[in-house]
Amino acid sequence: MTDPHVLFDAWLEEAKAGEPNDPTAMALASVDAGGRPSARMVLLKGHDERGFVFYTNIESRKADELAGNAHAALLFHWKSIRRQVRVEGVVEPVSDEEADAYFATRARDSQLGAWASDQSRPLASRHIFEQRFADQEERFQGRDVPRPPFWSGYRVVPARIEFWTSRDHRLHERRLFLRHEQSWQEGLLYP
């Protein structure tokens, strides 16, 4: 039996070698309280047997939607290597220690940007955002930038992972892994 996490790691390495534009980019789909779906691109910042991790402002639209319905879907599309991976599961917050450790690796301007942005909220002008960024530069001048209390990460704990490979004449290959308690069941789907 193939371990889907090991297979994902191998595919991601191939994507890093063959995908020219951000192989860690993934579409994240969530739903609001009314059941209306929303999707946006986020970056994969960690992956292991526990799940797939991304970071964001926890007061953003996506975070609000995940707070109301912790089910989400991810989609990696690596057009250059003719593959995609679909992940569905429940979302859980990462620990403060994980969030702090990742935040510390971010570029300083990205750290400052996290403090300056009211992500997903209306913005009257670009100038206001640029001024807020400048204010944060001044605030943290000469010292480390701590992780904002409103910024953290989420882990999508997969219940379902599908590996899709493009084949000629639309005879694609679809490998499906379903979590059953602590193990995975593997099967195929018609294209």
Q: Which residues are tagged catalytic? A: 170
Cβ-contact 46, 53 below 8 angstroms: yes
AA identity, residue 16: K
**Cα 27 to Cα 176: distance, rounded to the nearest angstrom:** 19
Instruction: Write the DSSP symbol of residue 49.
Output: T
Other residues' Cβ atoms within 10 Å of the Cβ of residue 122: 5
Rounding to the nearest 10 degrees, give the CA dihedral for residues 163, 32, 126, 136: -90
**Cα 68 to Cα 155: distance, rounded to the nearest angstrom:** 16
Cβ-contact 15, 23 below 8 angstroms: yes
**Cα 85 to Cα 185: distance, rounded to the nearest angstrom:** 16
Q: What share of the chain is helix, strand, coil (3-state, %, to 5)?
A: 30, 40, 30
SS3 146: coil
